[in-house]
A and B are shown apart, each in its own frame.
Chain A
Amino acid sequence: MNTAPTLDDLLEGLIVALGSEVMPFLNNPKAMATTAMMQSLLQQVRQVLPVFDRVIAEEHNQMTRTLCDVAAALDGVSGAEADRIRARAATLGAQGDVPVPVDQTPVRAAHSALGFALQDTIEDLDALQRAGHTQADEALTRLRQFLLPAIVSHIAAISVGGGMVGRG
């Protein structure tokens, strides 16, 4: 799957296009306001997306501890309310920590570097093939064995199936 443009680049592109390619051609105040709202919500997605999974995991782990700490603070207190709090601590609060996702930036950079390495390998294999090294045919087949499922899963992820908008 391609790492460039990034998902953030795509969202930024939508915001810019709404402003420069759509808004100037709107003549309805309601539509203009809706477009501005779209820009604002897209900007929210841009801001939330990079931190969402990490924050949710961290808060998950903090909330289990909080439930347990709250219950512990009520040691010796009786009554239905305190019992319900202790029950929550004993069930939901007893869940183990979930893993906090690591920053994906270095993974994406390494992915890109490996991709360019395979690209350069295709070029070198072509030189070997044209020089008559039949082993290079086999080597290219191996490289393509990686590429085919990668392409198929990539396309499955991004395809919308709407044809080509604006053309016939």
Chain B
Amino acid sequence: MDKAIIGLLQRVEPSITDAQVNNLQQISGGYSRETFSCDVSATRNGAKATLPLIIRRNPPAVEAILNTSRAVEHDLIEAIRTKSTVPVSRSYGYELDPSHFGAETMVLERASGNGKTSDLFNGGPDEHQTEEVIRHLCEVLVELHSVDISIANPQGAISDPRGVGIRTGSWDEYMDTTFEYYLREYRTINWDPAMMVLLDSFLTLRRHKPRPMKLVVVHGDFNPANFLYENSRVSALIDWENSHIGDPREDLGWMVLMDILSNTTVMSYPKKEGGFLAYYNKLTGGDITPVELGYFTLFGTAHIAVPVHQSVARRVRKEHMLLMPYYLIQSSLPAMPAMAQLMGYTA
């Protein structure tokens, strides 16, 4: 992999010479890609330099949770990085030819900051920073949702990044084609009838569409683990592979659920502003209601649940033998009581 990393860097920046890869190691780095960390020492424009890097490589398709394109992720990251103030790490480039890295791969700058965001909660060592970090996180989300779609999505690559027939001509078309996708794919994810709560949620969402909002660039996995922070500020939003054109309430709703699953309390900050939703509304001048937030908690859950449970279903059928999908059952099923509550289940 060393040779492939150096080759990609030199292709992007021909001034890089005498490069050497140090401390290359696989890190946990989320669930969907094989993630590696390393430092490249090199001469860059005639001066000695150290480049901290993250390598994100596609797993084999049968093991993948999301079959998304590293080229699309790279283009989006670079558009966001160069044309907005959303803090995001530079993506140096990608390699689609598997002969180099073994699979489709992208190489990013490793952002500075603490990625162990659990340090901000439950008495963690950085809890004194939580108010300001989450305040900034909310501001970053507002900034992302205000990015001009034509800049972030010039070729339409993130209108339907999964290639599942979602159309974004209007809010209604986006919602309706997304429901078609959820319901069509349900038969591929019901690895056990216990999944019927998910089916109920898909159908309930379709029966109770809320008011439309302007479609925006949605991060798509806006959760308590997908940012880094330092000095009480967000230093980078990370993991853009599920980004798409969608409803801004999706990111808020998904954070609600992931707060529950991650044992964090992002949504209750900034406390001085009455919490994340209140501050988001204040910044945008919007009036997203808690009921709408609940709706999009279900909607955002569905958006991630479809590929996650397709992955679980492949593991249950023993199409591969990775352990993680079984762990995903344990770690994701606690979402179900929250989903049931949002749908108004009673005993």
Interface residues on B, range: 35 or more
User: Given A1-B194, A165-B327, A167-B225, does the pair A17, B322 have CB atoms closer than 8 Å?
Assistant: yes
User: Could you tell me which A residues sit within 8 Å of B by CB distance?
Assistant: 1-5, 9-10, 13-14, 16-17, 20-21, 112, 114-116, 118-119, 122-123, 126, 129-130, 140-141, 144-145, 147-149, 151-152, 154-155, 158-161, 163-168
Residue in B193, B261, B340 with the greatest tally of chain A CB atoms within 10 Å: B193
* B31 with A166: CB separation less than 8 A: yes
User: B28-39 vs A: 1/0 string, CB under 8 Å?
Assistant: 111100000000
Contacts of A164 in B (CB 8 A): 225, 261-262, 331
A sample of 20 inter-chain contacts (CB < 8 A) reads: A1-B194, A5-B326, A14-B323, A17-B321, A112-B193, A116-B193, A119-B193, A122-B196, A123-B203, A126-B207, A144-B340, A147-B340, A148-B337, A151-B197, A151-B336, A154-B333, A159-B334, A163-B262, A166-B28, A167-B31
* B336 with A155: CB separation less than 8 A: yes
User: Interface residues of A: mostly helix, strand, loop or mixed?
Assistant: helix
Contacts of B321 in A (CB 8 A): 13, 16-17, 20
> Residue on B with the closest CB to A149?
B347
Contacts of A14 in B (CB 8 A): 323
Interface membership of B118, Cβ < 8 A: yes
The 9 closest A-B pairs by CB, nearest first: A115-B193, A168-B225, A17-B323, A166-B28, A167-B225, A2-B192, A119-B196, A2-B194, A126-B203
**Smallest beta-carbon distance A142→chain B, Å:** 10
Interface membership of B129, Cβ < 8 A: no
Q: How far is the CA of A13 from the CA of B346 in the complex (A)?
A: 36
